[in-house]
C-alpha cells in the first residue's frame, strides 16, 4: 500500500512537472580542514575560501568553473587603452548582511585595508600593481595601476580581494559579514558552521538551498563513515583516493574526479649542490616514473604534468615526454655528474599525496643509484625549515594558487633557490601582456623553459576528489580557484 | 593534615610553574613560524612582519614569558594566535564536552571494571573468570581508534542507531547524549580492561585472608562478603590505577575526539600545536597538568579515607 502510494505520488509529481521533488532544501557538506578564522582577507586557510568566498563574501569579479572572469559586485568595467586604468560599475541595491548599504566607499575601504602598511592580507602581492583606488560616485570606482597586470581581473575575483564593510571588517574573523547569497547562521568552532540563504540577495531566486551546514571531519575513515551513514550529503574534497571504490560501487553516491590548480612537484633546492647542476636535475627527472607514482600514491586518480601549468588551462602544452623514464640512463647521468652513491634527504610535509609519492620516488631514485632519505615532517616544521630557511635537498608540495608560474621569478630568496634572469624577464612579459592569445603563447614558452631547465621534478596535477549523494546537483567538477559557489547547487534528496 | 595540604599546594604550584617553563621553551625551540602558518605560502614579507608585530612576537622571549605569567595570575591567558579570540573563550566552549566525555568514560569504566573484576574473582578458575580475563586481554590489545571505527561501522553505518560523530552542544540534551554514547563506550572499554584485571587480582589477594574466611564462617552471604568486606579492602591498588587512568582518560580524549570529530580540548590542543598557537597550547597544557596533579591529590586523599592507617604516614 505504502509503495503504491509512493509510486502514485511520484507519478503525480513528475506528471505535474514540479521542479521541487521531495526536495531537501538543506545540504550537509563535510570538510577535512577546519578553519580557525572566518576572514579570507587575513588568513590563508583554504577552507575559509572553500566555505565563504562567493557564498558569504563577494568580490568585484568572480571566476567561473572554466576559469573565465565574470562580473559580480562590479556589473561591468572599462579598461583604458594603456591598460592602466580600470573603471568598475557597481551593482545597485546591494546590502551587506548587517543591513548596511554597499557602495563605492566600501570598495575603496576594502582595497586600502588590503594595501595598508600594517595589512596582513595573505595575498598582499596581488594588490602590489595598484596605484590608487578612487570612488568617482557611489556606483563607480576607478582603479589605477602602476604597471600592467594581465591577472588583475582574475585576482579581483579571489577571496583575498573580498569586499568588506568598514563597520564589520574587524569582526569578520568570527562574525563574517558580506554581500553574498548566504549569511552566517551559526559557527560551533571545531564542529560545524551553518549558512542560511540571504533573502535580500539581489538574485535570491537563483539560490536553491535554504541552508548549508559544513561539518569538519579530518580523519578519512571517519569521513567515510559519516558519508555511509548519510550524515553528510557531500564531501567535495575527499581526502583518501583509496576509499573511493566503495562509493563508486554504491548507487547512493556519485564520485567526481576533477582538477584543481595544484601542481604537485618534487622540489629540488636549486641553490644547493648537487641540484645547482642542471644535469643532476635532469637525471632526477629521468629517474622518476610518473605513472607509477600516480598509480601508487593516487590510485590512478591524477593527470601527469611535465611542467608547471595545469592541464585544463588554455595555454597547456604536454611536456610529460621531455624526460622519458629510463632508470639506466638516469644512473649513467648521476654517475657522470659524480653524485652516485650520495645520500640526499627528501623532507615531506604531512599530506597523504606527498608522503605516498615520497616512498615511490625514494625507490625509483634508489634504482638509479641515489640514496634518498625520506623524512616525514610536520607542517609547522616544513614551513620553517624547508620553506623559510631553505634547509632541504628535496621536498614534495602542491602549489594550489592559480597563475603561480611566477613562483620561479621570486628569486633566490624563495625556497626553490632558483634565480634565472631569463625566466624573470619572460614572466614580466607574461604578467603585463593584455592580449589573451599572446599571453597564452608566452605561457607556453614559460612551460617549455621550466621543463628544459628541469627546475623540479614535475609530478601530477592534484585532483579534486568529491563524493556526493546522487541527489546533489550543480557542484563544480573542477575548481580553477579555491572557492566552490553554492548558489547553483541543489539537493534533490 | 594542615601540613599535608600546605605541602601539596606548594607542590601543585611548583609543578605548574615547571610545566609552563617547559612548554614555553619547547614551543619556541620547535621549528615553526606562526605568521607564516596563518598567512600561507603566498604571503609577502611585509604582511608577515605586520602580523608578527600584531601577535607580539617581536618582544624578547623572557619579556613574553614574564608577561604571560603575570597575566595568567590574573586569569588572563591571552588571545589565541590562530583563532584571534581569548583562549579562555576557546577553553570555555570545549571544556563541557571533554569533561562530559571524561566523567562519563570514568563512570562506565568503574561500573564495568568493578563488577567484572569482582565477579571474576568470585568465580576464580571457572568459566566466568576465564571469560573476563580473555575479554580484558582483548580490550588491552585493541587500539582505541580501531575499536572506535568498529563501533561506528556497526552502530552508525549499519544499524543507524547512533550518529557517527559530531557534537552540537548541550542545548539539545538528547542529541548530545546520543552523540556521546559511542565515544564514551570506546573510551571506557579499553580503560576498563586494565582496571578489571587489577580489581580481580587485588580482590583475589584479599579473599585469601583470614578475616574473609571468618566473615563467611559467621554466616554472611558470599555476596555480602564480596561487596562489604573484600572490595573495600581491595581498593588501594584500584584507586591508584583509577587516578592514573583518569589522567590517561583526559589525554585519551585526543584520539577519541579525532575519530568521532568532537569539538573538545583534545582536538584543540592537537590543532594548536600544528598551528604553533603558543597561548592556546600553553593554557591547555597547564590545564591538563592541573587536572593530572589534582587527580593525584584526590587519590592521596582517598587513600586516607580507605585505609586510615595511612593517615599516620601522611
Q: Which chain A residue is nearest to residue B42, measuring alpha carbons?
A: A123
CA dihedral A331, A333, A335, A341 (to 10 degrees): -60
Average pLDDT (A423-439) is 93
B58 plus B131 within the same structural domain: no
Whether residue B172 lies inside any domain: the answer is yes
Whether residue B48 lies inside any domain: the answer is yes
B121 plus B194 within the same structural domain: yes
At A8 the pLDDT is 39
Instruction: Name the average pLDDT for chain B.
Output: 88
B66 plus B111 within the same structural domain: no
Interface check for B154 against chain A (CB to CB < 8 A): the answer is no
CA dihedral A201, A204, A207, A213 (to 10 degrees): 40
Interface check for A82 against chain B (CB to CB < 8 A): the answer is no
B223 plus B185 within the same structural domain: yes
pLDDT band per the 50, 70, 90 thresholds, residue A457: very high
Q: Which CATH class is domain A263-461?
A: alpha beta
- Contact A313/A67 with Cβ under 8 angstroms? yes
Of A37, A120, A219, the CB nearest to B50: A120
pLDDT tens digits, A112-141: 999 999 999 999 999 999 999 999 999 999
B140 plus B224 within the same structural domain: yes
CA distance A337 to chain B (A): 33
Domain ranges of chain A: 26-56+180-259+464-491, 61-170, 263-461
At B53 the pLDDT is 92
End-to-end CA distance of chain A: 22
B272 plus B130 within the same structural domain: yes
B274 plus B147 within the same structural domain: yes
Interface check for A81 against chain B (CB to CB < 8 A): the answer is no
Q: What is the ipTM of this complex?
A: 0.88
B49 plus B178 within the same structural domain: no
Whether residue B128 lies inside any domain: the answer is yes
Of the CATH numbers 3.40.50.720, 3.40.50.300, 3.40.190.10, 3.40.50.1980, which one belongs to the domain with range A26-56+180-259+464-491? 3.40.190.10
pLDDT band per the 50, 70, 90 thresholds, residue A53: very high
Domain that holds residue B133: 88-313
Residues of B in contact with A228 (CB under 8 A): 157
How many domains, chain B?
Answer: 2
Whether residue B79 lies inside any domain: the answer is no
B97 plus B174 within the same structural domain: yes
Residues 209-248 (B) with a CB less than 8 A from some CB of A? none
Average pLDDT (B218-229) is 87
Interface check for B175 against chain A (CB to CB < 8 A): the answer is no
> Hey, of A39, A173, A190, A392, which one would you mutate to test binding to chain B, going by the most B CBs within 10 A of its CB?
A190
DSSP three-state, residue A70: strand
Whether residue B147 lies inside any domain: the answer is yes
At A18 the pLDDT is 38
B153 plus B298 within the same structural domain: yes
Interface check for A186 against chain B (CB to CB < 8 A): the answer is no
pLDDT band per the 50, 70, 90 thresholds, residue B226: confident
Please judge whether A229 and B263 are an interchain contact, meaning their C-beta atoms are less than 8 angstroms apart. no
Average pLDDT (B38-63) is 91
Helices (H) then strands (E): counts for chain A: 13, 19
Q: Which chain B residue is nearest to residue A190, measuring alpha carbons?
A: B263
At A11 the pLDDT is 38
pLDDT tens digits, A305-336: 999 999 989 999 999 999 999 999 999 999 99
Interface check for B96 against chain A (CB to CB < 8 A): the answer is no
Residues of B in contact with A221 (CB under 8 A): 149, 259
- What cell does A139 get? 556606483
The percentage of residues in chain A with a pLDDT greater than 70, rounded to a whole number, is 95
A26-56+180-259+464-491 and A61-170 agree in CATH topology: no
Whether residue B190 lies inside any domain: the answer is yes
Is residue A369 over pLDDT 50?
Answer: yes
At B27 the pLDDT is 86
pLDDT band per the 50, 70, 90 thresholds, residue A14: very low
Environment class of A141 (CB within 10 Å of its CB; exposed 0-12, middle 13-18, buried 19+):
buried
Interface check for B268 against chain A (CB to CB < 8 A): the answer is yes
Average pLDDT (A444-456) is 97
- What cell does A6 get? 509512493
Instruction: Name the average pLDDT for chain A.
Output: 92
pLDDT tens digits, A81-100: 999 999 999 999 999 999 99
Does residue B142 come out as left (phi exceeding 0), alpha (psi in the -120 to 50 range) or beta? beta
Q: Beta-carbon neighbour count of residue B138 at 10 Å?
A: 12
Please judge whether B40 and A231 are an interchain contact, meaning their C-beta atoms are less than 8 angstroms apart. no
- What cell does A316 get? 597547456
Of A120, A229, A378, the CB nearest to B156: A229
B233 plus B121 within the same structural domain: yes
Please judge whether A221 and B259 are an interchain contact, meaning their C-beta atoms are less than 8 angstroms apart. yes
Q: Which chain A residue is nearest to residue B151, measuring alpha carbons?
A: A225
- Give the predicted TM-score (pTM) of the model: 0.89
CATH (domain of B108): 1.10.3720.10
Residues of B in contact with A124 (CB under 8 A): 43-44, 46-47
pLDDT tens digits, A145-160: 999 999 999 999 999 9
Please judge whether A120 and B39 are an interchain contact, meaning their C-beta atoms are less than 8 angstroms apart. yes
| Residues 6 or more apart in contact with residue A431 via CB below 8 angstroms | A148, A149, A150, A151, A406
Interface check for A189 against chain B (CB to CB < 8 A): the answer is yes
Whether residue B127 lies inside any domain: the answer is yes
Residues of A in contact with B284 (CB under 8 A): none
Residues 112-171 (A) with a CB less than 8 A from some CB of B? 117-125, 128
Whether residue B234 lies inside any domain: the answer is yes
Say which CATH topology domain A61-170 has: Dipeptide-binding Protein; domain 1 (3.90.76)
B45 plus B115 within the same structural domain: no
Amino acid at each position: 500500500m505504502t509503495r503504491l502510494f509512493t509510486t502514485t505520488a511520484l507519478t503525480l509529481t513528475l506528471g505535474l512537472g514540479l521542479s521541487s521533488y521531495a526536495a531537501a532544501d538543506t545540504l550537509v557538506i563535510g570538510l577535512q580542514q577546519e578553519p580557525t578564522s572566518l576572514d579570507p582577507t587575513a588568513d590563508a586557510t583554504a577552507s575559509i575560501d572553500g566555505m565563504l568566498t562567493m557564498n558569504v563574501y563577494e568580490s568585484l569579479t568572480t571566476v567561473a568553473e572554466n576559469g573565465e572572469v565574470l562580473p559580480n559586485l562590479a556589473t561591468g568595467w572599462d579598461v583604458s587603452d594603456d591598460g592602466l586604468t580600470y573603471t568598475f560599475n557597481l551593482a545597485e541595491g546591494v546590502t551587506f548582511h548587517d543591513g548596511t548599504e554597499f557602495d563605492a566607499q566600501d570598495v575603496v575601504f576594502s582595497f586600502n585595508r588590503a594595501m595598508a602598511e600594517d595589512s596582513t592580507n595573505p595575498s598582499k602581492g596581488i594588490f602590489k600593481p595598484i596605484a590608487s583606488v578612487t570612488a568617482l560616485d557611489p556606483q563607480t570606482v576607478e582603479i589605477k595601476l602602476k604597471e600592467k597586470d594581465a591577472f588583475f581581473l582574475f585576482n579581483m575575483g579571489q577571496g583575498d580581494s573580498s569586499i568588506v564593510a568598514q563597520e564589520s571588517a574587524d569582526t569578520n574573523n568570527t562574525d563574517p559579514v558580506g554581500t553574498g547569497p548566504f549569511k552566517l547562521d551559526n559557527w560551533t568552532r571545531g564542529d560545524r558552521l551553518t549558512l542560511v540563504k540571504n533573502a535580500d540577495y539581489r538574485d535570491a531566486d537563483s539560490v536553491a538551498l535554504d541552508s548549508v551546514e559544513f561539518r569538519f571531519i579530518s580523519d578519512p575513515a571517519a569521513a567515510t563513515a559519516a558519508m555511509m551513514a548519510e550524515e553528510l550529503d557531500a564531501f567535495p574534497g575527499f581526502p583518501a583516493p583509496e576509499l573511493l571504490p566503495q562509493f563508486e560501487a554504491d548507487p547512493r553516491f556519485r564520485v567526481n574526479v576533477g582538477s584543481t590548480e595544484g601542481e604537485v612537484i618534487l622540489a629540488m633546492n636549486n641553490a644547493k649542490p648537487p641540484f645547482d647542476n642542471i644535469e643532476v636535475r635532469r637525471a632526477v627527472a629521468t629517474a622518476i616514473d610518473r605513472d607509477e607514482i600516480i598509480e601508487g600514491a593516487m590510485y590512478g586518480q591524477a593527470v601527469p604534468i611535465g611542467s608547471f601549468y595545469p592541464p585544463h588551462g588554455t595555454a597547456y602544452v604536454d611536456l610529460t615526454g621531455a624526460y622519458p623514464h629510463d632508470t639506466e640512463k638516469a644512473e649513467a647521468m648521476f654517475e657522470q655528474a659524480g653524485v652516485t652513491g650520495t645520500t640526499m634527504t627528501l623532507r615531506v610535509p604531512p599530506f597523504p599525496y606527498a608522503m605516498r609519492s615520497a616512498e615511490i620516488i625514494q625507490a625509483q631514485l634508489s634504482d638509479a643509484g641515489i640514496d634518498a632519505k625520506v623524512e616525514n615532517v610536520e607542517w609547522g616544521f616544513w614551513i620553517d625549515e624547508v620553506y623559510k630557511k631553505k634547509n632541504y635537498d628535496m621536498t614534495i608540495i602542491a602549489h594550489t594558487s592559480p597563475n603561480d608560474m611566477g613562483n620561479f621569478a621570486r628569486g633566490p630568496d624563495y625556497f626553490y633557490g632558483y634565480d634565472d634572469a631569463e625566466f624573470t624577464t619572460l614572466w614580466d612579459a607574461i604578467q603585463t601582456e593584455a592580449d589573451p592569445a599572446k599571453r597564452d603563447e608566452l605561457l607556453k614558452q614559460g612551460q617549455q623553459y621550466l621543463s628544459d631547465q628541469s627546475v623540479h621534478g614535475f609530478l601530477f596535477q592534484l585532483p579534486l576528489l568529491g563524493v556526493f549523494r546522487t541527489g546533489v546537483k550543480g557542484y563544480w567538477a573542477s575548481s580553477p580557484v579555491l572557492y566552490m559557489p553554492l548558489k547553483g547547487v541543489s539537493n534533490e534528496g | 593534615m594542615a601540613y599535608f595540604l600546605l605541602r601539596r599546594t606548594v607542590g601543585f604550584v611548583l609543578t605548574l610553574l615547571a610545566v609552563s617553563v617547559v612548554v614555553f621553551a619547547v614551543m619556541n625551540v620547535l621549528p615553526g613560524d606562526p605568521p607564516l602558518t596563518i598567512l600561507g605560502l603566498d604571503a609577502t614579507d611585509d604582511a608577515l612582519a605586520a602580523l608578527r608585530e600584531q601577535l607580539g612576537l617581536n618582544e624578547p622571549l623572557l619579556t613574553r614569558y614574564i608577561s604571560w605569567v603575570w597575566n595568567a595570575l590574573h586569569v588572563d591567558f591571552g588571545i589565541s594566535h590562530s583563532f584571534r579570540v581569548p583562549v579562555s573563550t576557546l577553553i570555555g566552549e570545549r571544556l563541557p564536552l571533554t569533561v562530559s566525555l571524561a566523567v562519563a568514560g570514568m563512570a562506565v569504566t568503574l561500573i564495568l571494571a568493578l563488577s567484572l573484576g569482582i565477579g571474576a574473582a568470585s568465580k576464580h578458575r571457572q568459566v566466568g573468570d576465564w571469560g573476563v580475563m580473555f575479554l580484558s586481554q582483548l580490550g588491552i590489545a585493541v587500539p582505541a581508534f580501531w575499536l572506535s571505527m568498529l563501533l561506528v561501522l556497526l552502530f552508525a553505518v549499519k544499524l543507524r542507531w547512533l550518529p557517527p560523530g559530531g557534537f552540537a552542544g548541550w542545548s539539545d540534551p538528547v542529541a548530545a547524549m546520543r552523540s556521546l554514547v559511542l565515544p564514551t563506550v570506546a573510551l571506557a572499554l579499553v580503560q576498563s580492561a586494565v582496571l578489571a584485571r587489577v580489581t580481580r587480582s587485588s580482590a583475589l589477594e584479599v579473599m585469601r585472608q583470614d578475616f574473609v574466611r571468618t566473615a563467611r564462617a559467621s554466616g554472611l552471604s558470599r555476596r555480602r562478603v564480596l561487596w562489604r568486606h573484600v572490595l573495600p579492602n581491595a581498593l588501594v591498588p584500584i584507586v591508584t590505577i583509577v587516578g592514573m587512568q583518569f589522567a590517561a582518560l583526559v589525554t585519551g580524549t585526543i584520539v577519541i575526539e579525532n575519530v568521532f570529530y568532537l569539538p573538545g580540548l583534545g582536538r584543540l590542543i592537537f590543532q594548536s600545536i600544528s598551528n604553533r598557537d603558543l597561548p592556546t597550547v600553553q593554557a591547555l597544557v597547564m590545564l591538563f597538568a592541573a587536572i593530572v596533579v589534582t587527580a593525584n591529590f584526590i587519590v592521596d586523599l582517598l587513600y586516607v579515607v580507605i585505609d586510615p592507617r595511612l593517615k599516620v604516614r601522611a
